[in-house]
Amino acid sequence: MTSAAVESFVTKHLDLLELERDAEVEERSAVEQVREVNRFAFRLPLVTGRGGPRGDIVGLYDESGQLATGILTRITPKLVTVAFDESHDLQLSLDRENSYRLLKLANDITYKRLKKALITLKKYHSGPASSLIEVLLGGAAPCPASEIPPLTFCNASLDASQKEAVLFALSQKELAIIHGPPGTGKTTTVVEIILQAVKQGSKVLCCAPSNIAVDNLVERLARWKQRIVRLGHPARLLESIQRHSLDAVLARSDGAQIVADIRRDIDQVSECDPAVSALRAACASALKNKKTQDKRERSDFRNEIRLLRKELKEREEAAALQSLTAACVVLATNTGASLDGPLKLLPDGHFDIVVIDECAQALEASCWIPLLQARKCILAGDHKQLPPTTVSHKAALAGLSLSLMERLAEEHGGSTVRTLTVQYRMHGAIMQWASQALYRGQLTAHPSVARHLLRDLPGVAATEETGLPLLLVDTAGCGLFELEEEDDQSKGNPGEVRLVSLHVQALVDAGVRAGDIAVITPYNLQVDLLRQSLAHRHPELEIKSVDGFQGREKEAVILSFVRSNRKGEVGFLAEDRRINVAVTRARRHVAVVCDSHTVSNHAFLKTLVDYFTEHGEVRTAFEYLDDIVPENYSHESPQVHGQAGEKPQGSAVPARKAPGSQQPVGARPGRKKPGGVPLGSKAHAQPSVNAGGPEGARRDGADHFRAMIAEFVASEETQLEFPASLNSHDRMRVHQIAEELGLRHDSSGEGKERFITVSKRVLPAPAAPPPPAGTDSKAPVCPETPSPEQTEPPIRGPGSRDQLDLRALHLERLQRARGRQEQQTREGPQAAGSGLRKLPEKKKKAKGLTAMDLPAEEDFDALVSAAIKADNTCGLAKCTASVATLGQLCQHCGRRYCLSHHLPEIHGCGERAHTHARQRISREGVLYAGSGTKDRSLDPAKRAQLQRRLDRKLDELTGQRRSKGKEKGK
């Protein structure tokens, strides 16, 4: 039974590895195109260390082909250090003017080791791992757990779920799985298990897929003064733990002196070899010996060297065996535990337990390298986070990315699994989403973190932002669309880049260190765009796709989900586990920047958006950006004038008021009910938690708000105040509806006090065209209000004041807001007290759209009379030319101008035209002729993309991810 299962498992995985390898080779040839050696400072010559090359193998090429092969020993953003094989050292003379390519060569050793492990597994007949194989592959039930004596925990602060996991792991006979959701102290628990096992006299082989994870364990175990040995090339280990490497341990061992003596002997003899001495002409003794050489002597030298080398090898192996035997815990990457390395020196059955940490991120084949060396295994990890990285999509789908841990957790269910349930990282509100979405609601937040906020950090001010664990900045309805790049799969969204950078700035201004903030986005193009706009301002800020963050944490995390389009297309968006990792990196604050309307078509992201909507603060992008145009209007053609016949004749157009003086003297204050029941209080009766953009909003509870606002529009009221008790998503809807209807909508107040005021707009004179004949002059200056059932953007019939261009209104409003702010600055704080609550200065700056003065009814009267009076003459105040037949409509201000004044720049719309063009660029990612910025804006994106590919490749090489180590055994 087992053998058949093993055989089919092995056959399948050998095939999958083959697929994966082919894909890797293919990808490499794509990457190599961008890797030009002359981008790096090149250090030559670099000499290999003892024991031969162990890092990633690279080839150096010029146009003529391969010049040399070597190994990467160090990579920094500016410098790649390569150790070339000694034979090349003196032949290589690189010309700095020339361009070279450095290619990573196929990592054969890793594949060889993986295959070898699988084949050994297939052939395994009897040995310590026999019953483990039965349990892991043959579907055999694990043996009943053994009784263990009560423990004294080394780490007294373990929580109940951690203690339970330790007891469970120790008592299991073959298999124990420790499932550690984010921040639950999985490594803490694994360390305790190892300490206890060692106390019981066990020998432990401890592995993880990546060098960084292994180093982490070494560090944590070293604190407990354990006898540990870390396998692997010292150059690939963190400096702090290099002293635990086998090489370092050997250097301190008894045999070290003898080994050093032999080594010196070899060197001395070698110097007498003519081939070597030619390279060491400077050596005086070599020169002397050279004279005495003859063929016979030469062969004597060679023999002597051979003997010395043999003795050296024996001595070194004896010393290594001694060190390994003395160690209680041996640590290595999965592939580093291969039996073609130092572990071959140990007798079969030396280890009692194999521990594999981060097991859910390891290829199962790589786990079998250590697994075959013990009778019992303890696997730790979280299969709800990222699976092992694979290059071949096909192989991944066929099962290569299914980790051993995930497979077993599914097959055996709870009987072999213990889950850690107390997490020590996230604010409770951040944790709760992940807990519900992925961990069956099992997680609880430790009291030390449950309520911690950014504002609790030293040096961080208590602003609104630093008091929020969850913030959703919604671009739904704001027209901040993703870029459409036909030639690339990746997506970018410049509007989201702007929002992210405003939010980063708000946090940094409040005193949050940029190094405590991560910006995470699933699309690589967006990573590039974000870096372009943020990296220079905040060098410490980490901007990455999700993968680089696994296993790490940040005080604040900002997510940009990018997708925003009219079709509501999400296509590929990060998979659920990747989103889980992204959110759960955050300790105190998560901000999601997205188009809730588009993104809610992704089932899992919808749970996130819904959760934030219900439990977090929701703001619309309107609150951040003052030059955006509501999506609904962006595809409407400019309103056409032409009902000249309907326009009643009016009096002279009043002169434009000076900036900052829109409010006529004696204006009645807008309707406001401080302390009383706000007008919109009934809006609260129907809160809805469903996320959605404008269209979505229209379908559900937003109908209620729409109806209320419609009622308001039809009334004589100038202002409608919504209660602060509205949840933030409802507030967002109110913003959206008001925006659609061309109403002013302002948020004021802080936190729980935050409320929205919707008010009617005022057009500064010379104003919009007149209302249709017969309309009450007090009728609202708004487009016709759609009925609640209406599912299309409002359509203005010929009878309505369709000349009102909403875009213009929007911009007009912004202009007034600015004027108002300037006025306030001029007049001092007293002037601000007139209407709404005043917001802190900083916030005003950040959002641009804060407290504005309310329009007074006189404004409406003035507006209406202006409108009535707008006749067939040019829109420019001083110009009386007729526009009845030859006029041109300005799409920015919605007025008609004579042919001499129709250009935006001439009649005063230049700024708006510019804004509009910029908006279009950010919306459509297109630059139109004449803008003159194409080169600056697009090419860097491309360049950054290449840079990003390179970075990714380099990241891989540094071995943070799945180790592709191929340490060459001695």
Residues that bind Zn ion (CB under 5 A): 874, 876, 879, 881, 890, 892-893, 898, 901, 909
Positive or negative, the CA dihedral 498, 499, 502, 504 is: negative
Residue 185 found at the interface with ligand ATP (CB under 6 A): yes
265 versus 627: smaller Cβ distance to Zn ion: 627
From the list ligand ATP, Zn ion, none, pick the one residue 424 interacts with, judged by a Cβ distance below 5 to 8 Å according to partner type. ligand ATP
760 versus 901: smaller Cβ distance to Zn ion: 901
Which of 110, 172, 188, 922: binder of ligand ATP (CB under 6 A)? 188
What are 542's strand-pairing partners?
518
From the list ligand ATP, Zn ion, none, pick the one residue 898 interacts with, judged by a Cβ distance below 5 to 8 Å according to partner type. Zn ion
Question: With left for phi above 0 and alpha for psi between -120 and 50, is residue 421 left, alpha or beta?
Answer: alpha
Segment near ligand ATP (CB under 6 A); pick from 132-140, 186-194, 293-301, 518-526: 186-194
Contact 387, 360 (CB under 8 A): yes
In the complex, least distance from residue 188 CB atom to ligand ATP, rounded to whole angstroms: 3
Residue 182 found at the interface with ligand ATP (CB under 6 A): yes
In the complex, least distance from residue 583 CB atom to ligand ATP, rounded to whole angstroms: 13
From the list Zn ion, ligand ATP, none, pick the one residue 477 interacts with, judged by a Cβ distance below 5 to 8 Å according to partner type. none
Burial of 655: CB neighbours in 10 Å, binned 0-12, 13-18, 19+: exposed
Positive or negative, the CA dihedral 764, 768, 772, 773 is: positive
Neighbouring C-beta atoms of residue 828, cutoff 10 Å: 8
From the list ligand ATP, Zn ion, none, pick the one residue 534 interacts with, judged by a Cβ distance below 5 to 8 Å according to partner type. none
159 versus 555: smaller Cβ distance to ligand ATP: 159
In the complex, least distance from residue 863 CB atom to Zn ion, rounded to whole angstroms: 17
> Residue with CB nearest ligand ATP?
185
| x-marked contacts with ligand ATP along 132-171 as a string, rule CB under 6 A | -------------------------xxx--x---------
- Whose structure tokens read 């008609």? 896
Distance CA 866, CA 768 (A): 7
162 versus 688: smaller Cβ distance to ligand ATP: 162
Question: What single letter denotes the amino acid at residue 140?
Answer: A
Helix (H, G, I), strand (E, B) or coil at 877: coil
Residue 186 found at the interface with ligand ATP (CB under 6 A): yes
End-to-end CA separation in angstroms for the chain:
38
Residue 344 CA: distances (Å) to CA of 46, 54, 370? 30, 18, 12
Which of 53, 142, 180, 495: binder of ligand ATP (CB under 6 A)? 180
Reading the block at residue 768, the tokens are: 């919009």
Question: What single letter denotes the amino acid at residue 780?
Answer: P
From the list ligand ATP, Zn ion, none, pick the one residue 848 interacts with, judged by a Cβ distance below 5 to 8 Å according to partner type. none
Distance CA 757, CA 837 (A): 11
| x-marked contacts with ligand ATP along 260-299 as a string, rule CB under 6 A | ----------------------------------------
In the complex, least distance from residue 420 CB atom to ligand ATP, rounded to whole angstroms: 7
435 versus 821: smaller Cβ distance to ligand ATP: 435
Q: Which helix (H) or strand (E) holds 395?
A: helix 393-395
Q: Give the count of residues interacting with ligand ATP (CB under 6 A).
A: 14
From the list Zn ion, ligand ATP, none, pick the one residue 159 interacts with, judged by a Cβ distance below 5 to 8 Å according to partner type. ligand ATP
From the list ligand ATP, Zn ion, none, pick the one residue 819 interacts with, judged by a Cβ distance below 5 to 8 Å according to partner type. none
Residue 670 found at the interface with ligand ATP (CB under 6 A): no
In the complex, least distance from residue 659 CB atom to Zn ion, rounded to whole angstroms: 17
From the list Zn ion, ligand ATP, none, pick the one residue 214 interacts with, judged by a Cβ distance below 5 to 8 Å according to partner type. none
178 versus 354: smaller Cβ distance to ligand ATP: 178
Name which of 248, 268, 250 is nearest 259 in CA terms.
250
Name which of 701, 671, 667 is nearest 684 in CA terms.
701
- Farthest-apart Cα atoms in the chain, separation: 122
Segment near ligand ATP (CB under 6 A); pick from 181-189, 249-257, 263-271, 613-621: 181-189
Contact 712, 679 (CB under 8 A): yes
Neighbouring C-beta atoms of residue 938, cutoff 10 Å: 15
Residue 124 found at the interface with ligand ATP (CB under 6 A): no
Question: What single letter denotes the amino acid at residue 482?
Answer: E
Distance CA 177, CA 416 (A): 6
From the list Zn ion, ligand ATP, none, pick the one residue 182 interacts with, judged by a Cβ distance below 5 to 8 Å according to partner type. ligand ATP
Kindly give, in sequence order, each residue whose CB lies less than 8 Å from that of residue 465, ignoring residues fewer than 6 positions away: 454, 471, 503, 506, 507, 510, 589
- Whose structure tokens read 């360049």? 943
Contact 206, 357 (CB under 8 A): yes
From the list Zn ion, ligand ATP, none, pick the one residue 158 interacts with, judged by a Cβ distance below 5 to 8 Å according to partner type. ligand ATP
Q: Which helix (H) or strand (E) holds 230?
A: strand 228-230
Residue 331 found at the interface with ligand ATP (CB under 6 A): no
- Which alpha helices (DSSP H) does 77-183 contain, by range? 108-123, 130-137, 160-171
Distance CA 553, CA 185 (A): 13
404 versus 621: smaller Cβ distance to ligand ATP: 404
Segment near ligand ATP (CB under 6 A); pick from 178-186, 590-598, 621-629, 894-902: 178-186
Residue 424 found at the interface with ligand ATP (CB under 6 A): yes
Question: What single letter denotes the amino acid at residue 541?
Answer: L
From the list Zn ion, ligand ATP, none, pick the one residue 245 interacts with, judged by a Cβ distance below 5 to 8 Å according to partner type. none
Distance CA 237, CA 223 (A): 17
Distance CA 736, CA 640 (A): 25
From the list ligand ATP, Zn ion, none, pick the one residue 183 interacts with, judged by a Cβ distance below 5 to 8 Å according to partner type. ligand ATP
E-only strand ranges, 16-79: 57-62, 65-75
Question: What single letter denotes the amino acid at residue 337?
Answer: A
834 versus 882: smaller Cβ distance to Zn ion: 882
Distance CA 27, CA 551 (A): 26
What are 368's strand-pairing partners?
none
Which of 183, 209, 341, 694: binder of ligand ATP (CB under 6 A)? 183
Kindly give, in sequence order, each residue whose CB lies less than 8 Å from that of residue 908, ignoring residues fewer than 6 positions away: 893
In the complex, least distance from residue 402 CB atom to ligand ATP, rounded to whole angstroms: 20
In the complex, least distance from residue 417 CB atom to ligand ATP, rounded to whole angstroms: 15
235 versus 881: smaller Cβ distance to Zn ion: 881
Residue 184 found at the interface with ligand ATP (CB under 6 A): yes
In the complex, least distance from residue 216 CB atom to ligand ATP, rounded to whole angstroms: 8
Distance CA 215, CA 111 (A): 23
From the list ligand ATP, Zn ion, none, pick the one residue 556 interacts with, judged by a Cβ distance below 5 to 8 Å according to partner type. none
In the complex, least distance from residue 365 CB atom to ligand ATP, rounded to whole angstroms: 23
Q: Looking at residues 535 to 574 of the shown chain, list those that interact with ligand ATP (rule: CB under 6 A).
A: 551
From the list ligand ATP, Zn ion, none, pick the one residue 577 interacts with, judged by a Cβ distance below 5 to 8 Å according to partner type. none
In the complex, least distance from residue 83 CB atom to ligand ATP, rounded to whole angstroms: 32
From the list Zn ion, ligand ATP, none, pick the one residue 203 interacts with, judged by a Cβ distance below 5 to 8 Å according to partner type. none
Strands 228-230 and 329-333: parallel
Segment near ligand ATP (CB under 6 A); pick from 103-111, 176-184, 238-246, 699-707: 176-184
Residue 887 found at the interface with ligand ATP (CB under 6 A): no
Kindly give, in sequence order, each residue whose CB lies less than 8 Å from that of residue 628, ignoring residues fewer than 6 positions away: 478, 479, 480, 495, 621, 622, 919
Contact 705, 749 (CB under 8 A): no
358 versus 730: smaller Cβ distance to ligand ATP: 358
Using CB under 6 A, list all residues that contact ligand ATP: 157-159, 162, 180, 182-188, 424, 551
